[in-house]
Structure 1
Amino acid sequence: MVGHLSELHGLPVHDFAPDAPAGDLPPAGSVAWRLSFNPYVDDGPKGGFEGLWRMFTETVDTAAVRALVIGQWGEVSEYGPDFVVEMLTSDTERFPSLEAVFIGDVTFEEAEISWIEQSDVTPVLEAYPRLREFGVRGGTGLVFRPVRHEHLRTLRFESGGLPGGVVRGVAASDLPALEELELWLGVTDYGGDATVADLAPILTGERLPALRSLGLTDSELQDEIAAAVASAPVVARLHTLDLSMGTLTDTGAEALLSGQPLTHLTKLDLSHHFLSDAMMARIREELEGAGVDVDLSDQEKPEEHNGETWRYVAVSE
């Protein structure tokens, strides 16, 4: 289950209410402002999301705004946020202090993650060269082109199926300040067609010299990813490695334990997995005994259907 963000860039998320008195609004730089237009609510602002945006920029001191969360922009399962990206990138002079943006803060009650239509979000990074944190939820129609960005520290893509083109775009980007990267890779049935080979440039770490936290999660290829991570150069300088939410089995865990040392990690997240009790005990002995915080919660059991074994990721549809 994927819920609304409660914070972004260390700031609590605050919903912008168009009918709230100006005196009741928090200081512009003290919160992450969430803008969301639900087309099924009768008392929504005139002009839809565009009207909400206009009211926001006229009411709030946008020069002090540090973080923006974009929720529903209307029928999110019918059309993407191209016009939202256009408004955001054409109003850069209004947001000289902007440090963080998240596009697609939509819950399953509003639209399943696989139903969220996205767009080319690269212009946001191109328009805000001093942005420090950027995140997107939803993979359908999502485009991310290779960029060079000097100041981005956190990049996050949440999806039930992340397009291979997006993964390759990230892998080909030069992000010298990036400290945290999280990719929800998802499944092929929902567009997650990235391969382990697509991840290879990320795993070398050559374009990501500052990377300290890496999440390659929610994948039906979790065993293969674990095997690739086991010998990946970037791992030696990580403090957090996240391989959670996927279909990890004893095969992938064995590859991890047989590869390069992981005892330098502060945290290893393997939650939502298909590991045996014996393998869980071995991981705890070898890694927790060395001081690594290992998350082995949510042990799942494979399902048998018509003689076939089925394993499932945590987030797909």
Structure 2
Amino acid sequence: MTFTSHATTFAGLPVVDLAAGEPLPEVDGPVAWRYANWDFDENTDYGPSPAWAESFARLLDGIDASAVRALVLGSWGYTAFADAPIAQLCAAAERLDSLEALFLGDITGEECEVSWIRQGDITPLLEAFPRLRVLRVRGTEELRFSPVRHDHLRELAFESGGLPAHVLGAVLDSDLPALEHLELWLGVANYGGDIAVADLEPLLAGGRLPALRRLGLRNAEIADRIAAALAGAPVVGRLDELDLSLGVLGDEGVEALLAGQPLTHLRRLDLRRNFLSPQFAARVVEELPGVEVDVSEQETEGRFGRYTAISE
């Protein structure tokens, strides 16, 4: 499975499309502006798309860039060939001086499969935008991240069909004192998802990311092992929300989770779109009164076994 539609909200704001060379449309209140320029050129070498660079420059010339608080970037050319425009964004940082939220890669499977989306080193974005509060990244081809200090980042998300362990390691080695929301789409080994439970142990031990309140370990083929590890993980005690959705979590994983530490302090537990039986889906709701538990959209294991919601 893959992504089938573009974001309609981002950072709590409705998404409104932009067009190069045109002024900001009139809107009623704050919005997240979305810009995309899909262009397939089979002769393009790997690297930034010249057509994208030109169109994005025209866009910035045609709008009041200082008024942009939230930005959603869709296709930057054909993103299986074209690198993410990270350098161009950083070069525009002085003009985008009010930017607080960035989604890099709002791209559907029809435009480019998630595991083909070329990213690059996203570390400079956090260095260039010290006021950034939300960073969401989709795609892992050539994705790199280095440990960084950022005082204001509150939400960090990596959407992937397979998240490399080195990205997790860099996040955990970063100094992110304000980070409240961490969302990792772990994916599958066949698409580069090589994170093991042992790699998660520094996070689960609770000694990192002091402000963390919302943790998502989503889209994981190791969901049952993660659930078992969370049963005794110190980090769970300070969470408001725990998200294990979109993976291959089964009854055995939920049973281990429920047999561990109390979860009744949670405000929300998201188990949507996994492989729970109706009996266990009902049980987890019953055993956690007062917790908003989402067990909707459960799949049934077929002849091909269980599968994550997003892979290729």
Same fold (TM over 0.5): yes
Q: Is 1:75 the equivalent of 2:78? A: yes
Q: What is the CA–CA distance in structure 1 between the aligned matches of 2:163 and 2:149, rounded to whole Å?
A: 21
Q: Give how far 1:106 is off.
A: 0.5
Structure with bigger RCO (C-alpha 8 Å, 6+ apart)? 2
Match of 1:141 in 2: 142
Q: What is the CA–CA distance in structure 1 between the aligned matches of 2:33 and 2:152, rounded to whole Å?
A: 21
Cα displacement string for residues 252-272 of structure 1 (whole angstroms, at most 9, x for unaligned residues) = 111100111000111111112
Q: What is the CA–CA distance in structure 2 between the aligned matches of 1:37 and 1:62, rounded to whole Å?
A: 18
Cα displacement string for residues 271-298 of structure 1 (whole angstroms, at most 9, x for unaligned residues) = 12222233223212211xx211111112
Match of 2:280 in 1: 279
Q: Is 1:259 the equivalent of 2:254? A: no
Match of 2:114 in 1: 113
- C-alpha distance 59-280 of structure 1, shift in aligned 2 (>3 A): same
Instruction: Indicate the larger mover: 261-270 or 49-58.
Output: 49-58
Q: What is the CA–CA distance in structure 2 between the aligned matches of 1:211 and 1:151, rounded to whole Å?
A: 13
Gaps (5+ residues) in structure 1? none
- C-alpha distance 255-27 of structure 1, shift in aligned 2 (>3 A): same
Q: Give how far 1:94 is off.
A: 0.9
Match of 2:302 in 1: 303
The match for 2:61 among 58, 64, 78 is 58
Q: Give how far 1:215 is off.
A: 0.4
Q: Give how far 1:26 is off.
A: 3.1
Report matched runs for 1:208-247 at 5 Å.
208-247=209-248
The match for 1:48 among 48, 51, 67 is 51
Q: Give how far 1:47 is off.
A: 5.2
Q: Is 1:313 the equivalent of 2:308? A: yes
Q: Which amino acid aligns with 1:16?
A: L
Q: What is the CA–CA distance in structure 1 between the aligned matches of 2:30 and 2:291, rounded to whole Å?
A: 34
Q: Secondary structure at the match of 1:303?
A: coil
Q: Secondary structure at the match of 1:95?
A: coil
Q: What is the CA–CA distance in structure 2 between the aligned matches of 1:72 and 1:281, rounded to whole Å?
A: 41
Q: Give how far 1:9 is off.
A: 2.0
Q: Give how far 1:7 is off.
A: 2.1
- 2:114–2:160: 8 Å Cα contact kept in structure 1? yes
- 1:222–1:252: 8 Å Cα contact kept in structure 2? yes
Q: Is 1:8 the equivalent of 2:7? A: no
Q: What is the CA–CA distance in structure 2 between the aligned matches of 1:155 and 1:51, rounded to whole Å?
A: 29
- 1:28–1:60: 8 Å Cα contact kept in structure 2? no
Cα displacement string for residues 192-224 of structure 1 (whole angstroms, at most 9, x for unaligned residues) = 111111112222232211111110010110011
Match of 2:19 in 1: 17
Number of matched pairs:
303
Q: What is the CA–CA distance in structure 2 between the aligned matches of 1:26 and 1:78, rounded to whole Å?
A: 34
Q: Give how far 1:10 is off.
A: 2.2
Q: Is 1:30 the equivalent of 2:33? A: no
Percent identical pairs in the alignment equals: 53
- 2:21–2:59: 8 Å Cα contact kept in structure 1? no
Q: Which amino acid aligns with 1:304?
A: R
Q: What is the CA–CA distance in structure 2 between the aligned matches of 1:302 and 1:5, rounded to whole Å?
A: 29
Q: What is the CA–CA distance in structure 1 between the aligned matches of 2:105 and 2:182, rounded to whole Å?
A: 18
Q: Which amino acid aligns with 2:11?
A: H
Q: Which amino acid aligns with 1:132?
A: R
Q: Give how far 1:55 is off.
A: 1.2
Q: Secondary structure at the match of 1:247?
A: coil
Q: What is the CA–CA distance in structure 2 between the aligned matches of 1:57 and 1:273, rounded to whole Å?
A: 42
Match of 2:292 in 1: 293
Q: What is the CA–CA distance in structure 1 between the aligned matches of 2:140 and 2:211, rounded to whole Å?
A: 26
Q: Secondary structure at the match of 2:15?
A: strand
Report matched runs for 1:128-167 at 5 Å.
128-167=129-168
Q: Is 1:123 the equivalent of 2:124? A: yes
Gaps (5+ residues) in structure 2? 42-48
TM-score, length of structure 1 as denominator length: 0.90
